[in-house]
Amino acid sequence: MPHDHSGHHGHHHHVDPDAGDRAVGAAVAINVLLTVAEIVGGILSGSVALIADAVHNLSDAASLAIAWGARKIARRPTDATMTFGYKRAELVAALINYSTLILIGLYLVWEAAQRFIEPPGIDGVLMIAVAGFALVVDLVTALLTYRLSRQSLNIRAAFLHNLADALGSVAVIVVGVLILWFDWRLADPIVTLGIAGYILWLALTEIRTVIRILMLGSPPDIEPGEVLDVMQAVEGVVNVHHLHIWQISEHATSLEAHVVTEAETLDDLAAVKARVRAALKDRFAITHVTLDTEQPGAACDGAAQIGA
């Protein structure tokens, strides 16, 4: 049966996959160049905020590269080993990216703490020049990945890496100005802490969605109890149990359940099942549905209504 993947998320104009790949590929290339420039600039100017931004940019390039690879893998057709296909490659990539983002955030907190104890001398002019260049690259990357980020958790992870970067670059420019005008060296670690806090908040918020899908959790916008009520209200359904709702990928929701019905003939059974499917599609846009029917006398004893 052909699956309709539109679901709740079908409202975006989809980007052509190859154009999407090219955009992400270009973003990887410019971020790698940027990282090299920032690390050199950070070492020459003595700024930890600049090196923090560089490390972050490298993670950006890596996250985009992982996202790009995962996009390619996710489009592979199903086979005997991966009967559900490879769509989850993107979720695994997002999980890796958010996990590294959390580690980077913690590393920056540690670096900043060291600088509070012993603020070094910093070359503000070089710092501002390199960060200005970084900001331009971040904005270009964000533009390249923005459209894709609205329809893919995987690219969204990379896009958010990038946004955090652009903020980092703005912060480094501010620090450079403060150091040039007021020789206020503590600005460097203070801003680094700010960047780190933002990165951690972002990654911890986003990683929850990814983990929920990987753990086969029900979609956040679907209430299983409500699904039960809708299914049990269908004409010919006595009750429903062993209900499972999960997402193979962020755009495909699946459901399986045991339906107890008094339908006697195969035609009646088919009609009841068709009504249940129609109700699920109309109310919740769930189109991957597997139903097991049982007669009232032969139904599972004491079965759990949701899960098993």
Higher pLDDT, 75 or 6: 75
Question: Does the pLDDT value for residue 10 go beyond 50?
Answer: no
Measured between alpha carbons, how far is 46 from 120 in angstroms, rounded to an integer? Answer: 7
Measured between alpha carbons, how far is 161 from 168 in angstroms, rounded to an integer? Answer: 11
Measured between alpha carbons, how far is 86 from 176 in angstroms, rounded to an integer? Answer: 46
pLDDT tens by residue, 16-38: 777 777 777 777 787 787 778 77
Are 199 and 253 part of one and the same domain? no
Question: Does the pLDDT value for residue 7 go beyond 50?
Answer: no
Mean pLDDT of all residues in the chain?
82
- Identify the CATH number of the domain in which residue 232 sits: 3.30.70.1350
When pLDDT is averaged across residues 76-99 and rounded to a whole number, the result is 86
Domain closes at, from 196, 214, 232: 214
Domain closes at, from 151, 185, 214: 214
Are 206 and 232 part of one and the same domain? no
Side chain identity at residue 208, one-letter code: R
Are 93 and 149 part of one and the same domain? yes
Measured between alpha carbons, how far is 14 from 71 in angstroms, rounded to an integer? Answer: 14
Are 207 and 101 part of one and the same domain? yes
Residue 99 included in any domain: yes
Are 185 and 231 part of one and the same domain? no
Residue 246 included in any domain: yes
- Dihedral sign, Cα of residue 217, residue 223, residue 224, residue 227: negative
Are 108 and 168 part of one and the same domain? yes
Domain membership of residue 261 as a residue range: 224-298
Are 116 and 209 part of one and the same domain? yes
- Identify the CATH number of the domain in which residue 80 sits: 1.20.1510.10
Are 166 and 89 part of one and the same domain? yes
Are 13 and 160 part of one and the same domain? yes
pTM: 0.73
Domain closes at, from 164, 181, 214: 214
With residue 220 as reference, give the H or E element that holds it. none
When pLDDT is averaged across residues 177-185 and rounded to a whole number, the result is 83
DSSP 41-54: HHHHHT-HHHHHHH
Angle between helix axes 153-182 and 89-117 (nearest 10 degrees) is: 20
